Structure 1
């Protein structure tokens, strides 16, 4: 087992090395699973007992190490706001649960491989893996941070075709590449054994000779297929990247990074002080033709009643600021709430003293030089911190989350993506923090008329870890998928402008006050991915179901044979 453990560790290392934010290494993903696949095949061919258990443990080792090394910052951020024990438990959601689901994908694949042809087994692996990624994007414990296609976020030159497939196209590309390489190795190994037996003096019959010739033709065919599979998408992508031209349709955007310590270690800003700092920074780059000021998540603090927002001091202060910029719209994060006479949502909480229910929201607000107000509620919420997973079942734990820094019922959210609009009619995707890693959600907003993407976030919670860099890099994927500029405002950094090719045109320094300005190009064209988000997933969900059905049938069949 020592050899198999080292092979699993090699896969974990290669996956980590290829993962953002490390630059230029993403193509390693195309071979990273190969050592693990060898290890699992060797276990299957060995005389070891409990092969299934050993396969599960070896795969689990690789994926747990990879996840932990790549998203260790999750524990960092949680431990800063709650006791270590609770932080450990919640950390299991991203890297523990994610690693477990990855492991199940490979374990199920090996079970299929025992009873099916190599081709069917390989197709089932893709089905199981893509199904895991889709599950981890859609259920209540969602955390699609480690979706394989995200791994190319630092290499936009190689994935311009994401405008057709999204990140699941990248997942498919990576898995097929590794599978082809593995199948070449299996055939070469078998051919090596055959030649070795000839060298020992075994007589070669005509059938064996023809079989060897067929094997070599297959190896050459698979090698050619692998070369085409890797080189063709890269070549086409580089061609698109080098020739892509944006339509000139400029809009002047100012992005502000106030650098307010979310932990209040150096200074705890009052609401008025925080707003004054945002306005002061905005004025440094503002021009008479500025159309948008983008401020970060929860830039307006202290929960505001949305029905009475116009009467708040914050709204009035921003209105005075906008008197000098008549055509401008401020898009900012805010903490807001709505009250109800009865429990309209699962996330609503009851206030006995007032006999009212209310929802609190992590909100993006559009404020212009008029009484008009628009609200967008963050809807992709962090499990356990911003949202109680499976609220119908786990509502009994509400007091625990309230005590340790989360929300009792969770934030409220909206069912469908929506945009914020300037008075001129320009539509903006308001992606709040964590939401920017959901390609389908962002595409849903773009499809409804958004001409650029605004990401407002507070990455200061994560500290100076790779988390903030990964979060920035993933926004580049949204730019490519939808061919939209991204204006990213992060409280403590990294704020940035990203063009339609996924290039970072400007970015700020981490943990410094900053303001940047850019004339971006607005775009109204709809990409194939925007119109059909995550279409790649659906065939593989069907394949996964068929794979499960196959395993169930084989289990009953084997039991029947054993009974006889």
Structure 2
């Protein structure tokens, strides 16, 4: 059993080593599962009792260690604002739940491999895994941070084909490459298996090098259409915990303006400020009367063609409970929704609002509110609201007076390829990501979040202008290259002439299309196992 434990830990180490932000190591993902798959096969071939339980625990060891090593920063951010014990419990959502769902995929795979041919079992493994990834981006406990295809974010040279498949194509690529290697190992152990192994080896080589060769060719020859727009990105570096200093709303806005002026040009069309940069909870209908709005208007007097896109804290008032997240104010006798907002301010009275809709479970949104409403006091203590933030059902863009459309992704939303693609469909010519990232401290979380932005650039062939409060802010071109970035925890401002793009990629027009066949496969696989179990009980 010691051998299987070491093999499981070896897979965990390989997966961690291949994961962002470690550079240039992502190809390790193409064989990182092999030690675990060997360990599980050896367990099945052993004479141990309760092999199913041992398989589950062995796979669970791999995925728990990998998840903990890669996203440890979740605990760091929670522990900064709440007691260690409570932070550890809440950290189980991304650590434990993600690891459990990964483990379940492999456990189901081993179950079905005993009932079907190897080819069918291998297809089912891909179906189980991609079904888990899709579930983990869709339900109330959503956390798609560890989607396998994200692992190639540091090597955009190898994944230019994401403009056709998105990150799920990367997950498929990784899984099948590991399965082919596993099949080579299996047949080499059998008598006369060397000839059969050659077929698997040829398939493996083609499967690995065909996408890489195509990607490198596209990377080397891809040319952006010249359609420049001057964009300024601001990083104010305001401590989100207020440990060092606290600025008034007016002081914070002035700091943003002063930094913007350092790089502004006559032809600047966009100033990008980070998440919740304009502080003070503001009713959207009254936004034009605020000091923040008036200060930005005065600043824009010198830049007539410019638009400021900034994070803000806003709310709306209703006469009735218009949404499921609306709360009733007894003091004021009205219903209201609060929002994590992106606002576009021009040199006119016109205002546009976008409400963050992919909300962080347990912080910005109560997961399964009908069941978990009893923990709302804890939710409030962390900085959320009992009903959660409000959101919008469909993505929308912000538009400059010139007609340039911009995707206003707020923080966590930048992990969702499908959500961003739906925005790009609505005539967005580049992507903004406004975020804080200071909550996580100087951990790998901020670097991973930056790296993942490259995936959105490739999928949609759009520049990304990323403004992070404490860093790392950046510009990313249409090939997914980070062409300019700031340092962590420093006030900074950067500018770039980016190329606008109106063409739509295959992925943009058909986001996450590759998922649905595997959802069907995974569902059929689960139903097949349930049927066999039911039939076994009936005949028994």
Q: Distance in 1 between matches of 2:202 and 2:118?
A: 19
Question: Is 2:345 the counterpart of 1:367?
Answer: yes
Match of 1:355 among 333, 339, 344: 333
Deviations 1:312-359 (A, max 9, x none): 000000000000000000000000000111111111111111111111
Partner of 2:409 in structure 1? 431
1:362 match: secondary structure: strand
Question: Is 2:117 the counterpart of 1:117?
Answer: yes
Deviations 1:441-485 (A, max 9, x none): 000000111000000000111000000000000000000000000
Partner of 1:181 in structure 2? 181
Shift of residue 252, structure 1, vs aligned partner? 0.2
Shift of residue 405, structure 1, vs aligned partner? 2.8
Shift of residue 409, structure 1, vs aligned partner? 0.9
Deviations 1:256-315 (A, max 9, x none): 000011111111111011111100000000001000000000000110000100000000
Question: Is 2:223 the counterpart of 1:245?
Answer: yes
Q: How does 1:40-439 map to 2 (within 5 A)?
A: 40-191=40-191, 212=192, 215-439=193-417
Say whether the 8 Å CA contact 2:153–2:454 is kept in structure 1.
Answer: yes
Q: Distance in 2 between matches of 1:118 and 1:129?
A: 17
Q: Distance in 1 between matches of 2:532 and 2:131?
A: 21
Partner of 2:26 in structure 1? 26
Partner of 1:199 in structure 2? none
1:284 match: secondary structure: helix
Partner of 2:514 in structure 1? 536
2:238 match: secondary structure: coil
1:456 match: secondary structure: strand
Question: Is 2:444 the counterpart of 1:499?
Answer: no
Q: Distance in 1 between matches of 2:377 and 2:39?
A: 46
1:386 match: secondary structure: coil
Q: Distance in 2 between matches of 1:17 and 1:216?
A: 31
Q: Distance in 2 between matches of 1:553 and 1:79?
A: 45
Shift of residue 217, structure 1, vs aligned partner? 3.1
2:206 match: secondary structure: helix
Shift of residue 216, structure 1, vs aligned partner? 3.4
Question: Is 2:441 the counterpart of 1:463?
Answer: yes
Q: TM-score, normalised by structure 2?
A: 0.99
Q: Distance in 2 between matches of 1:328 and 1:178?
A: 50
Say whether the 8 Å CA contact 1:83–1:404 is kept in structure 2.
Answer: no
Shift of residue 190, structure 1, vs aligned partner? 1.6
Q: Distance in 2 between matches of 1:394 and 1:308?
A: 34
Match of 2:429 among 451, 454, 459: 451
Shift of residue 551, structure 1, vs aligned partner? 0.5
Q: Distance in 2 between matches of 1:216 and 1:394?
A: 56
Partner of 1:205 in structure 2? none
1:160 match: secondary structure: coil
2:92 match: secondary structure: helix
Q: Distance in 2 between matches of 1:556 and 1:392?
A: 32
Say whether the 8 Å CA contact 2:363–2:382 is kept in structure 1.
Answer: no
**Number of equivalences:** 540
Partner of 2:524 in structure 1? 546
Say whether the 8 Å CA contact 1:82–1:405 is kept in structure 2.
Answer: no
Deviations 1:478-508 (A, max 9, x none): 0000000000000000000000000000000
Q: Distance in 2 between matches of 1:316 and 1:52?
A: 65
Deviations 1:402-452 (A, max 9, x none): 134322111000000000000000000000001000000000000111000
Q: Distance in 2 between matches of 1:540 and 1:96?
A: 24
Shift of residue 560, structure 1, vs aligned partner? 4.4
Partner of 1:489 in structure 2? 467
Larger mean Cα displacement after TM superposition, 140-149 or 79-88: 79-88
1:510 match: secondary structure: coil
Q: Distance in 2 between matches of 1:33 and 1:399?
A: 41
Question: Is 2:453 the counterpart of 1:475?
Answer: yes
Deviations 1:111-156 (A, max 9, x none): 0001110001000100000000000000000000000000000000
Say whether the 8 Å CA contact 1:289–1:327 is kept in structure 2.
Answer: yes
Deviations 1:12-62 (A, max 9, x none): 000000000000000000000000000000000000010000000000000
Q: Distance in 2 between matches of 1:392 and 1:338?
A: 23
Extract unaligned runs of 5+ from structure 1.
192-211
Question: Is 2:496 the counterpart of 1:518?
Answer: yes
Deviations 1:364-415 (A, max 9, x none): 0000000000000000000001000012332333233113432211100000
Extract unaligned runs of 5+ from structure 2.
none
Instruction: Answer with 1 or 2: which has the greater Rg.
Output: 1
Q: Distance in 2 between matches of 1:272 and 1:188?
A: 70
Shift of residue 233, structure 1, vs aligned partner? 0.3
Q: Distance in 2 between matches of 1:559 and 1:496?
A: 59
Partner of 1:194 in structure 2? none
